Amino acid sequence: MMIKYGAVGASGIAQRRVMPAFRRTRNSLLQAVCSRSQERATVLSKQFQAPGAFDDLGQMLDTVDAVYVATPVHCHLEDARKVLEAGKHLLIEKPLARTFDEAREILALCERHGVFAMEAYMMKFHPAHTAIRAAVQAGEIGKVVYARARLGCWYPDIPEAWRQDPMLGGGGALMDLGSHLINLLSWMLGPIRSIKALCSTQIFSYAVEDSATLLAEFTAGTHGIIEAYFSMPDQLGTGVLELVGTRGRISAHNTIGQDGGGRVDWEIIPLQSGYDAQQSGPAEAVEERTVEYAPIDLYAAQLDYFSQCILSQTPPIVNRLDEGLETLGWIENAYQNQPS
């Protein structure tokens, strides 16, 4: 059986990644496309082989089981309201909403109408990241004392770009890219206890930050550095993920981002007990290995997971909306806790 999806907000990530991914799923069918322009909806429905094309979300809802919402963030609350009040399942792009209060309203709507909902933090479906999370939980690198995650790109001034308008996007690099990293590290390491942030616009002239660096403390005590940048050239902004523990280190190269590839290197060492004045552990005691996995389409994996939840009537445990609400809470906290 296939779950029939409608896609609303048919541009950006939806057009580049998600709508093409339907062709690589086992249980998800792109049934309809909705855009503000009927002409555009028709063009995209033909391009991605969807039977339906609409310029009205309400009309599309009668033809689908679930809706993928990829409209600009300031539209999320009203679009989610229409989907949930129609009793349709909801897959919604990140960040969940512009503000914590808007996100809380979406969560309440979901609970009220008894449908399934999931936020589209697709990086949790990366086989490298699931392996890293499992290794942390198993204590393979001991107690994690340090974690770092970075994602950057070059996002110059663009007229009418909603991500560059705080009233439309809610924030800049931290809201757009940093939300991925906060959510991912919380999933790997457990809840965050506190955050401090440095957010500024270094390169461009828009009203949101193009650079954000966060210092986070997790409830387990781990110190974390989270870096989100619209001001890094694309060749230099590739994702960085590193975790260091009392028994080893995990370094992931190019696993953070939109592709399901990259490489992960593991270093496992014996537990150090005494003080070494030379601060150079024996090299022969280091176990080095590269984690083997096949690259995947993160977006297809995300669709498959959500559709299987719907088919089996099992609520999603990955990318729950309450996790997205918590992520937004920490983003708002970070904006408020900056040097004066």
Residue boundaries of the structural domains of the chain: 3-122+300-315, 127-295
Radius of gyration of the chain (CA): 21
pLDDT in tens, 201-253: 999 999 999 999 999 999 999 999 999 999 999 988 888 999 999 999 999 99
- The total of other beta-carbon atoms located within 10 Å of residue 40's CB is 16
The token duo for 90 is 């909801």
Fold that domain 3-122+300-315 belongs to in CATH? Rossmann fold (3.40.50)
The token duo for 269 is 């060492």
Q: Do domains 3-122+300-315 and 127-295 have the same CATH topology?
A: no
State how beta strands 66-69 and 89-92 pair: parallel
pLDDT in tens, 24-66: 999 999 999 999 999 999 999 999 999 999 999 999 999 999 9
Q: Could you tell me how many helices (H) and strands (E) the chain has, helices first?
A: 12, 14
pLDDT in tens, 123-156: 999 999 999 999 999 999 999 999 999 999 999 9
pLDDT in tens, 101-114: 999 999 999 999 99
The token duo for 325 is 């609400």
pLDDT in tens, 183-210: 999 999 999 999 999 999 999 999 999 9
Torsion angle (degrees, nearest 10) of CA 267, 271, 272, 278: -20
pLDDT at 282: 59
The mean of the pLDDT values for the chain is 94
pLDDT at 275: 67
Q: Is 278 exposed, middle or buried (0-12, 13-18, 19+ CB in 10 A)?
A: exposed
Rounded percentage of the chain residues whose pLDDT exceeds 90: 88
Torsion angle (degrees, nearest 10) of CA 34, 75, 36, 160: -130
Average pLDDT of span 167-171: 96
CA distance 46 to 65: 20
- Confidence band, pLDDT 50/70/90 cuts, at residue 311: very high
State how beta strands 223-229 and 211-218 pair: antiparallel
Helices (H), the chain: 13, 19-21, 38-47, 57-61, 76-85, 100-113, 127-138, 166-169, 173, 179-189, 298-312, 321-336
pLDDT value at 277 more than 80: no
pLDDT at 330: 97
Fold that domain 127-295 belongs to in CATH? Dihydrodipicolinate Reductase; domain 2 (3.30.360)
Q: What angle do CA 68, 263, 172 make, to 5 degrees?
A: 45
pLDDT value at 279 more than 70: no
Q: How many residues does the chain have?
A: 340
Rounded percentage of the chain residues whose pLDDT exceeds 70: 96
The per-residue b/e assignment along 83-101, b for 16 or more CB within 10 angstroms, e otherwise, is bbebebbbbbbbbbbbbbe
Q: Among residues 145, 204, 144, 140, which one has the least CA distance to residue 172?
A: 204
Average pLDDT of span 10-26: 93
